[in-house]
Structure 1
Amino acid sequence: MGAHPVLRYLRSERPDLRADVVAGLPGAISSVPDGMACAVLVGVNPIHGLYASFAGPVAGGLTSSTRLMVITTTTAASLAAGSALERVEPGDRPDALVLLTIIAGVVMVLAGIARLGRYTRFVSHSVMIGFLTGISANIFFGQIPDLTGAQASGEFPLAKALDVVLHPSRIDVASLLAGLTALGILFGLSRTRLRAVSALVALVVPTAIVMIVGADSVARVEDVGQIPRGVPLPHLPSLGLLSFSLVTGALAVAAIVLVQGSGVAEAAPNRDATVSNPNRDFIAQGVGNLAAGFFRGQPVGGSVGQTALNQAVGGRTRWAAIFSGLWMLVILAAFSGVVGLVAMPTLAAVLVFAAAGSLRPGELRTILRTGPTSQIAIVSTFFATLFLPVAAAVGIGVTLSLLLQLNQGAMDLKVVELKPAGDGRWIEHPAPEVLSSHQTIVLDVYGSLLYAGSRTLGVHLPDPAGAEAPAVVLRLRGRTAVGATFVKVLADYAAALHAVGGRLYLSGVDHGLAELLRRTDRVDVSGPVRVFEASELVGESTAKALNEAETWAVGHRGDVPDR
């Protein structure tokens, strides 16, 4: 009798299990500074980042289809959460964070169930790079006050950074030295074997120095709030904090996490060559957020850095991510009391280093060289992220992606003339601007015929005005879905041909499209428009349409004298 399906699903071979237990420890250690730093971005006690670093990898690892994906705190999701909670009173922010995380988790689970994974491809690469670059810039500028120990004011991170620069007397020298020491350690260890623990070293060494020299002016984590000792217990959210801004913030977090998660899945393919399921990964990230929320954690998602580390240290199955969460639970039980002693400038240094490392100068150069459309997309999204709330920037980015998609589809449309070359072959020529009297022409179309593309088609079709009894064969092979705009353009062109005694023939028409045209009252397929459905033999219906069009043209040649 076989094993239970759940046991088969989670089962690992013993050698893999040992490797995954070992691989999980570096992930847990590196998650300590990462989780704390992400909580700083949200504006809450760093313990919430550590709680999420325990719950997210365990719950997400049990359900993801990308087996090495580590679902934990990310800077982008943290910044989005912080933006959503910006106007929440500090005392209510932890409970509001829990509610936001759970709402985001529900949205992600529903997105996966609704199979919305395919729609992530509609967010253009230019928009995503512009958004991520803006996120990196916000993180960098936003940490300048903590890095320097200066009090700063401003409505957005860049304004706060400028306030520090313009008032250098506010900088605390001890805090600045602690932050710069941490940055030096991070850069110094980044190319060594200690890279995986460099962030932890950057927290411990400067903090120890601060404690030894008695630099009381340097802020510590415990100044942000009391650090609970021991392991977290489940916690139900307070629905009294539910608001419109909280819901829109959760939607922004979900959008960011889902798109980033798709990128993580591409970068970490399964070792057995099975293809990742984006919808299942959506659900896994949603489950990770639900678990993080119920254990008082913050939003989590597929982490590029933690997943790369998981691969680098020898993770083999989903258990590597799960064990990183379980190791984090051990760290919380044994060392949670030490967390409060960490110097805040060192956390700022970790974030500044992460922001600098996430920049992609090569991709930025490539996008900026690919033309005005990509340039507009990346620059617009970057500045929207820099100066607007993250939820608004995400909305602008998604809208801009859709508009660029529609515009590109319309711009790429091309109409060509096909002339028979014998043996079922065709020669392609540029389409004429006007039709000639008593002549038959075959046209083919490249590009999208939805929305603006249909209107562009109407502009590029040869003008029948001035011609007498022209016949046009329009090849539509492969077009399975069209909209009302296309039907209108088709009806208008058929009417223009009919006005000069001409006729329109449609070839290669999909059966479903043919039925749609027959149902509509805009296109008279029994009169001035003739429809030839596609067959398995490519070009057969077009040849039939051309033959009938030429026969019709010959029959009507004498009806109207040539000009």
Structure 2
Amino acid sequence: MPETTADEPGPRSRLRSLASDALAGLTTAVVSVPSGMATAALAGVNPVYGLYATVVSPTVGGLFASSQLMQIATTGASALTAGQAIAAYPEEQRGPALFLLVGLAGLFLIGFGVVGAGRLVRYISYPVMTAFLSGVAAALLMDQAAQFAGYSSDWSITLGAFVDLLVSLHEVSWTTVAVGAIALALMVALARTPLANGASLVALVVPTVVAFWWRPEGVELVRDVSDIPTGLPPFALPDLTLLTPGLVASAFALAVVVAVQGAGVSQAARNPDGSQPNTSRDMFAQGLGNTAASFFHGMPTGASVGQSALNRQVGARSRFAMVFHGLGMLVILLVASQLVGLVPMTVLAAILMVAAFQAIEFGAMASIWRVGGSGRWAMAVTFLATLLTSVPMAVAIGVVLTLVLFILRAGETVQVHGLRIDDDDRIHVVDPPEELSSHGVSVIDVDGSLYFAAARTLRERLPPASSGEGAAVVLRVRGNTQIGSTFIEEINDYAQQLARNGGRLYLCGLTTRFTQQIVRSERVALDDQVVLVPGEEILGASLRAAIRLAEEWVRAQGH
């Protein structure tokens, strides 16, 4: 009988792991009922679509995710994005438009995963990402305030609708507010108790029972908004007649929102088997889940921070917990789907409002503001864009802002320092010279990128080439592995100006690739105006060699 190694769990261990996954999946399925319904209501569609998505997406996506304990679920950010995207469609077309949107977003996410877009997330600055996710949460909170109060606004802009609610408090349904307040009070009261993980479920059930026995007038129920079908999630092909360029753009924005949120979960995840999560693969998995959900009347889904944390807390051992999560939700649909219709809409709004408030990163935003600089204004612009425009527009502004900040920072990070070698052969970093030493050697160290705009910034920070006669300039560029044509052009022009004043430029610390790029350009007068001194394994050896050559050249000129 073969023995089981320590690295390969035996049948009993695998069975125990599967039992833990089943229990965790069923637990998270029950707890996710309120959020699934609430996010669908937020998007302006039948709340049962959120439950359908929770059946399909985790089951499909969970089998392919690299983050083994990541939980795919409906999220407020994706629901808000979807709701804004389909708001212009007639009410009877919003459902089919939503399913088409989800399918397109799924295809975009699959594409992101295939091309390895996960590595691009690192280029989104922390202030922009924090402001965007917090802005979406704030918009979600404001958007649900009207539903919580039983008030309908004509404003399409989230901030405008919230202000409209504040100036129209005399028109709100206070009976509706009272029912919603029960849910709010329960969630706040249970937040710091052992029942915290089930707070949203308690907040869903208790006010629903109260409303069922009280039967207050003016309190809108889920069944008043949508018919709740029974049975399995229905299969249907997406309606391509609803396809528009605007819907495609919104699908791309939705995919970006899901990808950014999912990247945060992937990067924070720790797999039980010690393997490293792959952000791109997780994007691919979320894309498969959304594509599959689009055929079964499902809402958009993505990796959920809260649901993933709960999944770990209740004992999940592997990705099969997501599969059991979907199967558990299927059982709930088959057994208790008609009970969904009894839930007051204000209760769903209250659940989303609490989740949205908890998602706003007040501490992180305050820290970014205190640090100041460009990050402060990047955060402010992105946050306001999320509140004042649609989510797709905010995504576009965030992407453009990130690119602009990246280019500006790349151009400003280059620094120059003077170098001096003392009698004991020690290298000292000193202030860069304002002028070159006539018939002497000026040694300058370059720190930072030399690509694109940074090359022009370097040129501006070098001492004027005309400030010294017969000057030798040693420019240390160690650490730079890639340059571009801009650097070569700028350094060639500087060398030519030095030559016109009887000087010469020495570039030291060069990598092999760096040297080859300069040689292949055929723009630089090598060994005449410019001397290349390749880098060596011993730190400082190339610098000392360049200084020695420069001093020999100065002496050879008769000075």
TM-score category, normalised to shorter length = over 0.9
**Larger mean Cα displacement after TM superposition, 521-530 or 199-208:** 521-530
Residue 196 (structure 2) aligns with: 195
How far apart in 1 are the matches of 2:225 and 2:47? Answer: 8
Whether 1:365 aligns to 2:362 is no
Whether 1:276 aligns to 2:288 is no
Residue 61 (structure 2) aligns with: 60
Given residue 263 of structure 2, which amino acid in structure 1 is its aligned partner?
S
How far apart in 2 are the matches of 1:424 and 1:509? Answer: 22
How far apart in 2 are the matches of 1:78 and 1:492? Answer: 55
How far apart in 2 are the matches of 1:526 and 1:322? Answer: 68
Matches within 5 A, 1:110-509: 110-421=111-422, 425-509=426-510
Other structure's SS at 2:532 match: strand
How far apart in 1 are the matches of 2:206 and 2:367? Answer: 39
How far apart in 1 are the matches of 2:424 and 2:115? Answer: 48
Residue 108 (structure 2) aligns with: 107
How far apart in 2 are the matches of 1:256 and 1:496? Answer: 51
Whether 1:535 aligns to 2:536 is yes
Residue 518 (structure 1) aligns with: 519
- Retained in 1: the 8 A contact 2:105–2:255? yes
Other structure's SS at 2:46 match: coil
Offset at 1:12?
A: 7.3
Other structure's SS at 1:419 match: strand
Other structure's SS at 1:233 match: coil
Other structure's SS at 1:282 match: helix
Given residue 290 of structure 1, which amino acid in structure 2 is its aligned partner?
T
How far apart in 1 are the matches of 2:179 and 2:338? Answer: 21
Other structure's SS at 2:428 match: strand
Offset at 1:51?
A: 1.1
Offset at 1:356?
A: 1.1
Count of residue correspondences: 554
How far apart in 2 are the matches of 1:35 and 1:23? Answer: 17
Q: Percent identity?
A: 41
Offset at 1:424?
A: 6.5
Given residue 403 of structure 2, which amino acid in structure 1 is its aligned partner?
L
- Retained in 1: the 8 A contact 2:135–2:360? no
How far apart in 2 are the matches of 1:424 and 1:28? Answer: 69
| TM-score, normalised relative to structure 2 | 0.95
Matches within 5 A, 1:21-36: 21-36=22-37
User: Which sections of structure 2, spanning at least 5 residues, go unmatched?
Assistant: none
Residue 561 (structure 1) aligns with: none
1:172-191 CA-partner distances (Å, limit 9, x unpaired): 12211111111011111111
Given residue 367 of structure 1, which amino acid in structure 2 is its aligned partner?
I
**Larger mean Cα displacement after TM superposition, 365-374 or 517-526:** 517-526
Given residue 52 of structure 1, which amino acid in structure 2 is its aligned partner?
A
Other structure's SS at 1:428 match: strand
Offset at 1:349?
A: 0.2
Residue 72 (structure 1) aligns with: 73
1:292-343 CA-partner distances (Å, limit 9, x unpaired): 2122212111100100111111112111222111101111111112212211
Given residue 356 of structure 2, which amino acid in structure 1 is its aligned partner?
A
How far apart in 1 are the matches of 2:321 and 2:16? Answer: 12
How far apart in 2 are the matches of 1:328 and 1:241? Answer: 30
How far apart in 1 are the matches of 2:64 and 2:329? Answer: 19
How far apart in 2 are the matches of 1:229 and 1:424? Answer: 84
Other structure's SS at 1:193 match: coil
Other structure's SS at 2:67 match: coil
Distance 1:34 1:404, change over 3 A: same
Distance 1:524 1:300, change over 3 A: farther
- Retained in 1: the 8 A contact 2:508–2:534? yes
Offset at 1:77?
A: 1.4
How far apart in 1 are the matches of 2:239 and 2:494? Answer: 61
Given residue 275 of structure 2, which amino acid in structure 1 is its aligned partner?
T
Offset at 1:252?
A: 1.0
Offset at 1:267?
A: 2.6
Given residue 257 of structure 2, which amino acid in structure 1 is its aligned partner?
I
| TM-score, normalised relative to structure 1 | 0.94
Offset at 1:422?
A: 6.5
1:427-469 CA-partner distances (Å, limit 9, x unpaired): 1111111112111122211122223222211111111223111
Residue 46 (structure 1) aligns with: 47
Given residue 277 of structure 1, which amino acid in structure 2 is its aligned partner?
N
Offset at 1:264?
A: 0.7
**Larger mean Cα displacement after TM superposition, 46-55 or 383-392:** 46-55
Given residue 194 of structure 1, which amino acid in structure 2 is its aligned partner?
L
Other structure's SS at 1:143 match: helix
User: Which sections of structure 1, spanning at least 5 residues, go unmatched?
Assistant: 559-563
Offset at 1:526?
A: 4.3
How far apart in 2 are the matches of 1:510 and 1:424? Answer: 24
How far apart in 2 are the matches of 1:447 and 1:467? Answer: 26
How far apart in 1 are the matches of 2:300 and 2:371? Answer: 35
Given residue 36 of structure 2, which amino acid in structure 1 is its aligned partner?
G
Distance 1:216 1:230, change over 3 A: farther
1:246-305 CA-partner distances (Å, limit 9, x unpaired): 111111111111121121123321123321111211211111111221222121111001
Given residue 387 of structure 1, which amino acid in structure 2 is its aligned partner?
L
- Retained in 1: the 8 A contact 2:449–2:480? no
